[in-house]
Amino acid sequence: MKLPQVLAFDVFGTVVDWHGSIAREVDAMGLGVDGDEFALAWRAGYQPAMQRVRSGELGWTLIDDLHRMILDDLLRRFGIHHLDEAARQHLNRAWHRLDPWPDSVAGLTRLKSRYMICSLSNGNLGLLAAMAKRAGLPWDCILSAEVFRAYKPDPATYLGVAKVFGVAPQEVMLVAAHHDDLAAARACGLRTAYVERPLEFGPRHPKDVSPQPGCDVHATDLVALADLLRC
């Protein structure tokens, strides 16, 4: 395999542990709800919210604002009525405070020594920058749906990475823990690396991480990816 020039990373689930981080924050708030369930419910609102933007029902909306819309609805459903505006804003920014998987910083640091590494996330730039600063994610560049004003899996996002760096699509590799994201990138001519994240949805909801055809690389984590990509 000819090696790529640029590695673009999905972030939520691939680089950071959204489920564990959100569940821990919610549990620590003592709201009387189950953090595991709350985290899953919050994330479950994510694709439908983006779909309202894709369909044109909502204009272009940042993920911070979609997260907040979902949160306000969730708090009603979970019967939590006493959180004031400041507490809601703070809780909503839990998505800026997601912890990396244990291998992420070491793996990215090695990969950065040989490749241009960037995020390619539906998360907004401010969220991704705050997360990277707190978690020590050593991006060469933060790219987001916000730059392309389109959410993955819109081809404008995958092809946008190639255009930003002035390279051909096949010189970009998308790294993700989600086969649908990778398949959409392949359809645009990118190369793809699957990363196993069996605990993405928490230990009570193990995920099938078996290989699927089509990927150029299948890695157990980002340190293993650095080995496979000869860093």
Q: Which residues bind a copy of itself (CB under 8 A)?
A: 64, 116, 118, 124-126, 128-130, 132-133, 140-143, 146-147, 164-166
Strand order in the sheet with 172-176: 141-144, 116-121, 6-9, 172-176, 191-195, 217-219
Residue 124 or 157: which CB sits closer to a copy of itself?
A: 124
The total number of residues written for the chain in this structure: 231
Residue 174 CA, chain-centre distance (Å), reads: 12
Cβ atoms within 10 Å of 227's Cβ, excluding its own: 12
Q: Cβ 100 to a copy of itself, closest distance in Å?
A: 16
Q: Cβ 142 to a copy of itself, closest distance in Å?
A: 5
- Collapsing DSSP to helix, strand or coil, 202 comes out as coil
Q: Cβ 143 to a copy of itself, closest distance in Å?
A: 8
Residue 79 or 166: which CB sits closer to a copy of itself?
A: 166
Q: Cβ 120 to a copy of itself, closest distance in Å?
A: 13
Residue 51 or 89: which CB sits closer to a copy of itself?
A: 89
Which element (helix H / strand E) includes 169?
none
Non-local CB neighbours of 151 within 8 Å, separated by 6+ positions:
50, 53, 54, 122, 145, 157
* Tokens at 70, concatenated: 């979902």
Residue 30 or 166: which CB sits closer to a copy of itself?
A: 166
Residue 92 or 192: which CB sits closer to a copy of itself?
A: 92
To 5 degrees, how large is the angle CA 175–CA 213–CA 157? 35
Token look-up 């020039």 returns 5
Residue 129 or 183: which CB sits closer to a copy of itself?
A: 129
Cβ atoms within 10 Å of 200's Cβ, excluding its own: 21
Q: How many CA atoms lie within 13 A of 158 on its CB side?
A: 24
